[in-house]
Structure formats: C-alpha cells, structure tokens
C-alpha cells in the first residue's frame, strides 16, 4: 500500500440550504484561479451540485457514498485524485450528522478536517454556540473552523468571531448578497449548462470573498492510501450502448459510463430532444433528468419516438431510470393534470406533484442481481402494470420503488450506481438478456 499527502477540506453544515455548494464552488474557483489543480468530491447521490462544481474547478466531480459506492471505491477515488491535485474539496450532504452513513462518517473514515458552513442570518453569538456543539458532538471528527454565510456587516462578522473559541476560528465570512447565490428549481439547483454565464459571474464574486479570508491558504495535507480494486472483466466487449444525454436527460454518473467502457462496451450518445434517429446500438440507457421541462419537444419529436418504439418492439435492451422511466410511460401530466404523449412502452402516466416526493437509498432487486442506488423524484406513476420487483430500502421495511420489465425494458424511478455490482450491470445490458 502506498500513501500520498494532499491538502484537503470537507465542507459540512448543520442542515441543507446553508450554502455548501456556493461556498465549495467559490473556494474551488479561487484556488483554480491561482493556478492550482482542484479536485472536488460530492457526498451522496447528487447529479446537480456536481455539474456546478465541475464548472467551478474545471475537472469532473465524483460522487462518493460509503453505502452506495463502498469504502474501497471511495478510498481509490481519493488516492487517484491526490496523485495530481493541489487541493481536494469534499462537499457534504444534508446536515453534518444526517443519514447513515453521514457526511461526518465519510470525513471520519478518511481523516479529512471539516469546515462548518452556517447561514448566520438572524443570529450572532448563537452561531458560535451551534458551531461548538457540532464540533464537539463526536470525537472522531476534526472541525477546524466556521464559515459564516450571509453575514450582514463587519460588525455581524466580528460578533461571531469574538464568540468562537481559539481552536474553532472564523475561517471566512461571506456577505449577504443575492448575486452570489445559485439558481434553484424543484429537485435542487438548476443544471449548470442552463445558466453557465450567470454562474460564472457569481463564481467570480464569491471567489473574491474567499481571497480575503483564511481560506485563501491551502489547508493541511491529509494522507490518502491506495486501494487497488479488481479490474472489471470484459463482460460487455463489443456491446454498443446508446445513452440519452441532453437537457432533458442528464443525470448520469461518470462512474457508470466509466464502468461500461471498462467492461468493453462501446458508448454513443443521442438526444431525444433534437435527434431524429438512434445511433447503431444493442442497448439503450435512458437516464434521469428533467423531461417534465421539455414535454412539448419530446412529444413532437415523432421520429425519435418511433425509433425507440421500434427498438423496444425488437426486444432489445433498454434501461430507463426515473426521468427515463417517465419518458417510457404513455404520458407525463403537468401540475394542471394535462397529459402529453410519451413513448408508451409501458402502460401508465407520470403525474407531477407540487410538493413532496420520494428520496432515499435502495437496492434494486433485479433478476440479474442486487444493484445499489437511490430515488429522488417529484412525480408519481399511476395506472402502471404490476411490477416484477420492488426496491429494498436501506433501513426501512416498507417496499421501495416498483421495478417494471417489458420485453427488453427494465424501468424504475431508481437511479442505479453501476459499480456497486458490475456483473449484474453486465447481465442487464447484454443483448442475450432480452431474448
């Protein structure tokens, strides 16, 4: 086993909505502008924050989760990044101790120091008390300071700084400024590709605040050990997989694509929005995304609808996840209950809901094997056929997401993390499985 040292910092918060992504992006952009190579990891199964963070640092952002991906996978990814990075940043998920495993668990396993991000609007010395409580809640994590977000003034900043103990300093204060916040919609942040120029100006402004703070200096080096994982077998050698990728279907783990190619698959991309035919393929992958924002364009692309319907009629393999599953139903109904025709590969309708939704970690219990993944959606499928199986929740006995199969189609609201079971993924995509 070999070891590499690299400066690293874990950005955590007491809850969601504290500004973790904005500040992580600002730190990354500041150091990137100084000519440093910054690598960012995102805790948990997130598609939207990594798009923003990738634009901030200029490198792909890898999602890490001790349950979904496993400790060995996480260790390998940190070690690979540390070989070339000048700085490693990890953005946590939800609150610091929320979930099993939590952000604190990931930071603890890899001994990465934590900087607390807290929205201090409406409080001053109380922010210091909350920070001290979080810092001392567990003795297996090291909290090195507080980042006060939404500071109203210099006086506000000084009240918080003076209330903090010497071993928990104020690392930075981020001014209350709507021009640095990132735009959001119902499942989280807006996709980076939709607001690229806007977020560039916000990165610049937020990075300037980092430049006059203690975060302008690199954090202490952290030791990252190697962990060699077995090379994937060429189980998909020569299999051509076409992947839907555009503004309607963009929830794609880079790790999933990497595994498919490592197993020998030939990957091509197509757009259900703009293309009129499929590339040559043995299998299709329709990932999640925001089809509900593009109903008219998807429904009116009759040539693409016909091409995918013919592909399905030929018993060829299709994996449809969440937004891709919605696309496979007969219609998607908007918040007013107006339905727009979709593929109709499965009976049923996806109905958008104004609030609520399903989220959480689950196993997809497939005939090919259990594959770990998660659910996060704001719609509900109605009038569907009987499922072949249900997802199994990580820690709750209630049935998880229904899983449907029809001819070569496997469809569910679940987003799958392919490296959790490469052999099952290979069996799922191999053409013989659809015969």
- The one catalytic residue in 132, 151, 322, 328 is 322
Q: Please give the Cα distance from 403 to 435 (Å, whole number).
A: 19
What single string gives the DSSP state of each residue in 83-113? TT-SEEEEE--SSTT-SSS-HHHHHHHTT--
Q: Which residues contact 107 (CB under 8 A, 6 or more apart)?
A: 10, 12, 90, 92, 113, 114, 141
CA-closest candidate to residue 316, choices 283, 353, 285: 283
Can the peptide bond before residue 101 be classed as cis, meaning omega within 30 degrees of 0?
yes
For 138, which DSSP code? -
Structure tokens belonging to residue 68: 């979904």
Do residues 13 and 107 make contact, with C-beta atoms less than 8 angstroms apart? no
Do residues 400 and 357 make contact, with C-beta atoms less than 8 angstroms apart? no
Give the DSSP H or E segment for 222: strand 221-225
Structure tokens belonging to residue 55: 């634009």
Size of the chain in residues = 435
Q: Please give the Cα distance from 384 to 351 (Å, whole number).
A: 12
Structure tokens belonging to residue 377: 């959606």
Determine how many CB atoms are found less than 10 A away from the CB of residue 315. 15
Residue found under tokens 């954090």:
219
Please give the distance of CA 118 from its chain centroid, rounded to a whole number. Answer: 22
Could you list the beta-strand ranges (E) of 326-417: 331-333, 339-341, 349-352, 358-366, 369-377, 379-382, 389-393, 399-406, 409-412, 415-416
Determine how many CB atoms are found less than 10 A away from the CB of residue 208. 14
Per the annotation, the verdict on 322 as an active-site residue is yes
Residue found under tokens 């975060």:
215
CA-closest candidate to residue 145, choices 126, 132, 162, 159: 132
Residue 52: is it exposed, middle or buried by C-beta count within 10 angstroms (0-12/13-18/19+)?
buried
Known catalytic residues? 322
């Amino acid at each position: 086993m070999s070891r590499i040292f690299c400066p690293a910092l874990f950005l955590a918060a007491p809850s969601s909505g504290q500004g973790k992504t904005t500040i992580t992006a600002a730190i990354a952009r500041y150091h990137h502008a100084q000519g440093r190579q910054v690598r960012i990891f995102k805790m948990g199964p997130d598609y939207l924050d990594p798009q923003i963070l990738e634009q901030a640092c200029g490198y792909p952002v890898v999602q890490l989760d001790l349950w979904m991906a496993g400790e060995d996978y996480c260790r390998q990814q940190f070690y690979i990044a540390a070989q070339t990075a000048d700085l490693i940043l990890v953005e946590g998920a939800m609150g610091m101790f929320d979930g099993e495993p939590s952000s604190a668990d990931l930071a603890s396993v890899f001994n990465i120091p934590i900087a607390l991000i807290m929205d201090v609007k409406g409080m001053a010395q109380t922010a210091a008390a909350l920070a001290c409580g979080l810092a001392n809640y567990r003795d297996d994590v090291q909290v090195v300071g507080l980042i006060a977000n939404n500071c109203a003034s210099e006086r506000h900043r000084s009240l918080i700084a003076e209330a903090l103990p010497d071993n928990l300093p104020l690392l930075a204060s981020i001014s209350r400024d709507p021009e640095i916040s990132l735009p959001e919609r119902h499942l989280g942040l807006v996709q980076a590709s939709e607001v690229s120029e806007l977020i560039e100006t916000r990165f610049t402004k937020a990075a300037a605040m980092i430049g006059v703070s203690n975060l302008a200096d690199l954090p202490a080096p952290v030791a990252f050990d190697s962990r060699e994982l077995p090379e994937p077998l060429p189980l998909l050698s020569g299999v051509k997989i076409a992947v839907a990728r555009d503004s309607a279907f963009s929830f794609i783990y880079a790790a999933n694509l990497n595994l498919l190619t490592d197993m020998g698959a030939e990957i091509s991309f197509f757009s259900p929005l703009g293309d009129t035919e499929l590339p040559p393929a043995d299998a299709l992958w329709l990932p999640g995304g925001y089809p509900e924002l593009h109903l008219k364009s998807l429904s009116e692309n009759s040539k693409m609808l016909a091409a995918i319907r013919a592909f399905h009629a030929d018993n060829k393999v299709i994996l449809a996840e969440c937004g891709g599953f919605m696309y496979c139903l007969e219609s998607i109904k908007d918040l007013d209950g107006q339905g727009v025709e979709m593929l109709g590969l499965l009976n049923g309708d996806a109905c958008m809901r104004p609030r609520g939704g399903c989220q959480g970690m689950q196993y997809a219990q497939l005939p090919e094997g259990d594959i770990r993944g998660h659910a996060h959606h704001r719609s509900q499928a109605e009038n569907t056929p009987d499922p072949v199986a249900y997802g199994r929740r990580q820690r709750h006995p209630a049935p998880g997401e229904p899983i449907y199969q029809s001819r070569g189609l496997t469809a569910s609201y679940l987003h799958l993390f392919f490296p959790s079971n490469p052999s099952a993924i290979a069996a799922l995509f191999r053409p013989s499985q659809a015969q």
